[in-house]
Amino acid sequence: MEVLAMKIEDYDEAWKIWVHTKGMGLNNLDDSREGIRKFLRRNPSTCFVAKNEGKVIGVILAGNDGRRGYIYHLAVKESERRKGVADRLLKTAMKALEKEGIKKIASLVYKENKIGNQFWEKEGFVLKEGMRYRSKAVADLYDISIE
């Protein structure tokens, strides 16, 4: 397995992983090819894919606002889970964020995503009980998450 900077050419394989990952929150604007192209342009050194024999088996999108780092869409192909792929992707993204001067990283995980929450807890990410995450779309977004 090798971990490489994500390129827009990896989008189709990454998309297939995302839509087959239970608990992913996707929308048709931000997660479209053009939305991901824009994200990669803004965060060229912090997004990665894991490949095995040239095929994408895992993906992580990470970025920052100059103060905090954020992890988006960490997902691994189901047949490749429990092999250290997510851990390696996360560590690679965290190191890349650290190189950019980021000292604190956050990840949003749906409350019902038990597997995801177990992973983040194992990785040392602390649940912030007293916080409420709020968002408001400024454009029409369609949630295409999988149950």
Read off the pLDDT of residues 40-84 as tens digits, 9 standing for 90 and up: 999 999 999 999 999 999 999 999 999 999 999 999 999 999 999
CA 39/CA 44 separation, integer angstroms? 8
Examine residue 130 and state whether it is found in any structural domain, yes or no.
no
Examine residue 133 and state whether it is found in any structural domain, yes or no.
no
Examine residue 41 and state whether it is found in any structural domain, yes or no.
yes
Structural contact between residues 56 and 49, judged by C-beta atoms closer than 8 angstroms:
yes
Instruction: Give start and end residues of each alpha helix (H) in the chain.
Output: 11-19, 33-42, 85-99, 114-122
Domain housing 76: 2-122
Examine residue 107 and state whether it is found in any structural domain, yes or no.
yes
Give the pLDDT confidence score for residue 85 in this predicted structure.
97
CA 126/CA 121 separation, integer angstroms? 7
Neighbours of 51 (CB within 10 A): 17
Average pLDDT taken over every residue of the chain: 90
Range with lowest mean pLDDT among 37-41, 121-125, 137-141: 137-141
Sign of CA dihedral 96, 136, 36, 131: positive
From residue 56, give the alpha-carbon distance in Å to each of 42, 77, 80: 22, 8, 10
Interval 2-54: pLDDT, tens: 999 999 999 999 999 999 988 777 778 888 999 999 999 999 999 999 999 99
Examine residue 81 and state whether it is found in any structural domain, yes or no.
yes
Interval 97-117: pLDDT, tens: 999 999 999 998 888 888 888
Structural contact between residues 25 and 145, judged by C-beta atoms closer than 8 angstroms:
yes
Give the pLDDT confidence score for residue 146 in this predicted structure.
52
Q: In what order do the strands lie in the sheet with 69-76?
A: 2-5, 48-52, 55-64, 69-76, 105-107
Q: How many domains does the chain have?
A: 1
Q: Check whether 94 has a pLDDT greater than 70.
A: yes
CA 24/CA 18 separation, integer angstroms? 7
Q: Check whether 145 has a pLDDT greater than 80.
A: no
Examine residue 25 and state whether it is found in any structural domain, yes or no.
yes
Q: Return the CATH number at 70.
A: 3.40.630.30
